[in-house]
Amino acid sequence: MKSNKQIYNIPNILTFSRILIIPVIFFLLFFNKEIYGIAAAIFFVVAIATDFIDGYIARKKNIVTNLGIFLDPIADKLLVVTILIMLIPMQRIPAWVVAVIIFREIFVTGLRAIASEKGVVIPAGREGKWKTAFQMFGILCLLIYYKHFYLNFGDIGLILIFISILFSLISSYKYLKSVSGILLNG
């Protein structure tokens, strides 16, 4: 059995805090008013910051746990998927776009699971990292949504999300290509 010291460490606590931020953003988006969108955007930035900080600390201090390896990507996906689904009825993003993003996440997670079962670790490639960056900035803009500083954040957010989908398709193809040998050889 793992000791509490191994489970209760700063990176895991930050990951848990990211998960706890999700209902706050969810609640704020129910109001569909500009000020609540900005508040949700601020919480989203805090959540993104915890993701970077927990990864940095885990690598720097060599505090990598199985719980952290398991929980970190789940926290990321829960954050993104919850917000995107909430943005659909607010008419800030088309449902088909969210469906494509969710499908891609499930597809790549499945490919990684198959590879992992065979002892192969598939690290995130450059395209996947670009996908994440464009997606996060796109979501941030869609949360802010309204015009500020002569910029239409809703339009910018959609453009960034579409760019992220392009990178998603490229990275999905690369994941499939890297796992194809495992899939074909059983």
Cα–Cα dist 51/103, whole Å: 22
Question: What is the b/e burial string over 1-32, where b = at least 16 CB atoms within 10 angstroms of the residue's CB?
Answer: eeeeeeeebebbebbbebbebbeebeebbeee
pLDDT at 186 over 60: no
**pTM of the predicted structure, to 2 decimals:** 0.86
Percent of the chain exceeding pLDDT 70 equals 95
* Nearest alpha-carbon partner for 132 in 122, 144, 124: 124
Per-residue pLDDT band for 98 (boundaries 50, 70, 90) equals: very high
Residues 37-93 have pLDDT tens digits of 999 999 999 999 998 898 889 888 888 777 877 888 889 999 999 999 999 999 999
pLDDT at 4 over 60: no
Percent of the chain exceeding pLDDT 90 equals 51
Residues 118-139 have pLDDT tens digits of 777 777 778 888 999 999 999 9
Q: DSSP class of residue 93? A: S
pLDDT at 1 over 50: no
CA distance to 47, 91, 105, 134, 142, per residue, from 164 (Å): 19, 19, 12, 5, 14
pLDDT at 183: 67
Residues 14-50 have pLDDT tens digits of 999 999 999 999 999 988 888 999 999 999 999 999 9
pLDDT at 158: 97
Rg, C-alpha atoms of the chain: 18
